[in-house]
Amino acid sequence: MNKYYCVVTFEITSHAFIFEKEMKKRNIDIKLISTPRELSSSCGLSSEIPCKLKSDVEKICRENHIEASKIYELEREKDKKSIFKIFNK
């Protein structure tokens, strides 16, 4: 089974940490990860989020002036390192 997930990218590392702090404060389950090489981002740190929360996360970022670059929906083949599909590049 393929893994389907969302990744939030940032321009700089401090934005990723601000994002993490705000999401944890709201009990939103996120994980900081290395930015997948298939995505272009100035920062090597991104956040993996549940795709079902994508619109909630976008709203929280807007309302709290959190500078997220983009949210990508990704699909990765099971046990593979490379991304199979990028849905909104």
Annotated domain spans of the chain: 3-87
Tell me the backbone φ, ψ of residue 2, rounded to 5 degrees: -75, 155
Pairwise CA distance, residues 69 & 73, whole Å: 14
pLDDT in tens, 22-45: 999 999 989 999 988 878 657 889
Q: What are phi and psi of 73, to 5 degrees?
A: -100, 125
- Please say if the pLDDT value at position 83 is more than 80: no
Distance of alpha carbon 36 from alpha carbon 28, whole angstroms: 21
CATH topology of domain 3-87: Alpha-Beta Plaits (3.30.70)
- Per-residue pLDDT tens digits for 41-82: 578 899 999 989 999 999 999 999 999 988 888 877 776 655
pLDDT band of 20, cuts 50, 70, 90:
very high
Task: Please give the Cα distance from 21 to 11 (Å, whole number).
Answer: 17
CB 31 within 8 A of CB 47: yes
pTM: predicted TM-score of the whole model, two decimal places: 0.82
> In sequence order, what are the beta bridge partners of 53?
none
